[in-house]
A = this chain, B = another copy of it.
């Protein structure tokens, strides 16, 4: 006995760092419900051969925002009668981390960045979803290398440390931080490349080692290194 049709959607929580505050990308809705309101990029699921919802999320995100996120992982699935005025629904939610420079507002009409720590009420249960994603990112950041995906392709250790501190909301000891990064063994120095342009000793530029670049997380299992060993 197959069920009657269920509203099945995908939503993506796209996060980036502006200044020292995590921001979430919201899109102006051009259809009811909540037409004109700002909500998470998302859409109905269209079953396709050879594609699961991870592929669908990546494609949907790219179509709606022009962004191909190197890190995309399933958060969890939200369901219930109250979350969508059209009736009982489920939404499979993914979250993505990108460097802020990758978000070009001209490329995506109606795109807006909001700081996650002063989030206004959002359509559907999207505020709750964003907060769940942020909690996940903060939690994973405390023992893994997740935050590197918020930096550009090349970055200095002081910059990366500032990113960690922004996410975790507390200062980190410089020496311990560098030791930890060394243990994780995910970064490699870019030969002869130093950060220029400032009136002090330039910092070494680093990048993700090849095996960690441009990976999408499969089936909710993370591909970031963590500090177990």
Contacts and interface: CB of A to CB of B under 8 A. Distances in A.
| Chief secondary structure at chain A's binding surface | loop
A78 B92 CA distance: 10
A154 to B, nearest CB: 31
State the copy count for this chain.
2
Contact of A142 (B50, B221, B228): B228
Interface residue tally of chain A, by bracket? 35 or more
A126 to B, nearest CB: 13
Interface stretch (A19-27, A79-87, A190-198): A79-87
Nearest to A88: B47
A45 interface: yes
Chain B CB count within 10 A is highest, among A51, A87, A90, A135, for A90
Interface of A: 1-8, 44-53, 74-81, 87-88, 90, 92, 128, 132, 135, 142, 219-221, 228
